[in-house]
Amino acid sequence: MITLDDRLMALRGLAAEFATAIRPFGLELDGDPSAIHRRLDVPLVLKLGALQVPPAYQTEPLVVGRYRFHLMTTLERVVFMMEAARGDLGFLLAAPGAPMAGAAVAMLGDEHQQEWFFSRVVSEPTWAFFALSEPRGGSDASGMRTRLTRDPDTDEFRLDGTKRYIGNGTRAQVGVAFAKRGRGGPLSATAVLVNAGDPGFSAVPVPTLGLRGAQLSELTFDSVPIAPERVLGSHMPATRGGLWGWLRTFNLLRPVVAAMGVGVAQAAHDYVAEHRPGLPAPLRDGLERLRLEIQSVRRLTLRAAAEADLDPSKGELSSAAKVRAAALAEEATRYAARCFGPGGLLDHPYLEKLLRDARGIEFMEGAGAIQRMSVFSAVPRP
């Protein structure tokens, strides 16, 4: 079992304060995702947006008491996210920062690419997209259709394709897009840095039921010019720059999505405990079971995070945590709704929002069936 030391407990305490600060704005962002631009003055929002950046590019870490954080390890990110998501997950996903794209750049970028990307993130409030999913499917990255082709006249590359359900797509100034080269074999998977202002790039919002703050978007790349120095992983052996690097990046990110599920489940539990103190016995027992289940998934998620930091090539525990946390968030929010009886969702719009938000977690970072396959592929065969 992973126990949090004083350092991580200090981080958790700060995340709890942040959760309280952002909670009042969750419903506002749900109604109008652009409201995030009016909320950049909420304490810590800009500071956090400039973190999750390697120490070489971020000289001003987050200081909590005598501890300093860059939020570069999965365990730190998970500890922070679990607590902060109790406040409002939509707000967290709307806030500036480059948690996903930054992880890809840290994994696959050379020194110049990292400098280009991270110096931007620390110098101004930056949103960055991470564009993998496509209209025909997100879980199966190998079926991707977006293409990167080299222009024989200029030596530049061109990016063509459509991505859908991309968080912060319309807000982003920069991003990482995933594509295939040539005939599209397993070694052809490539990630590139994209400037959202480049010709041929466009982004439109996609309406969603929950997590509206994330402003999911459809991105179109219509022959977007990509300079050779924007192709990530070029400095690595062919077997490392593509899928190998991607899988490791996803294994590092997935426990953070699990932490989101734990946070949302905890928020639903807290809401019932606060607003329905005199629950009848059967519902009260159910709430207690839910509390224990949250504890259990919390432990699994922390373990998955610690394991991902130790060995990012192992994804099964991350997948197991993600499957359980997504299911838990749905179960907890549905249970909370039951505790308020018929009409409860009308009287409690925050709970109604939590219910919608919880559903989104199932689809982030690959849907449940895919995660289960990852778990079972690690079971030794007789």
- Closest CB to ligand FAD among residues 133, 249: 133
- Closest CB to ligand FAD among residues 17, 331: 331
Give the count of residues interacting with ligand FAD (CB under 6 A): 24
Region class of 374: left (phi > 0), else alpha (psi between -120 and 50), else beta: alpha
Q: Does 57 bind ligand FAD (CB under 6 A)?
A: no
Q: What single letter denotes the amino acid at residue 45?
A: V
- Give, as ranges, the residues between 169 and 208 that touch ligand FAD (CB under 6 A): none
- Give, as ranges, the residues between 60 and 119 that touch ligand FAD (CB under 6 A): 100
**How many residues comprise the chain?**
382
- Closest CB to ligand FAD among residues 19, 132: 132
Smallest distance from ligand FAD to CB 1, Å = 30
**Residue whose C-beta lies closest to ligand FAD:** 138
Contacts with 258 (C-beta within 8 Å, 6 or more apart), sequence order: 78, 297, 300, 301, 304, 318, 321, 322, 324, 325, 326
Smallest distance from ligand FAD to CB 218, Å = 11
Smallest distance from ligand FAD to CB 297, Å = 19
Q: Does 132 bind ligand FAD (CB under 6 A)?
A: yes
Q: Which of 36, 85, 6, 122 is nearest to 298 (CA)?
A: 85
Of 84, 166, 257, 321, the one binding ligand FAD (CB under 6 A) is: 166
**How crowded is residue 319: how many other Cβ atoms within 10 Å of its Cβ?**
28
- Describe the chain by its helix, strand, coil percentages, rounded to 5: 55, 15, 30
Q: Does 262 bind ligand FAD (CB under 6 A)?
A: no
Q: Does 130 bind ligand FAD (CB under 6 A)?
A: yes
- Could you give the maximum distance between any two Cα atoms of the chain, in Å? 75
Q: How far apart are CA 258 and CA 297, in angstroms?
A: 9
The pairing of beta strand 147-150 with beta strand 189-195:
unpaired
Q: How far apart are CA 379 and CA 250, in angstroms?
A: 20
- Give, as ranges, the residues between 348 and 367 that touch ligand FAD (CB under 6 A): 360, 363-367
Binding site for ligand FAD (CB under 6 A): 100, 130-133, 137-140, 165-167, 211, 214, 216, 360, 363-370
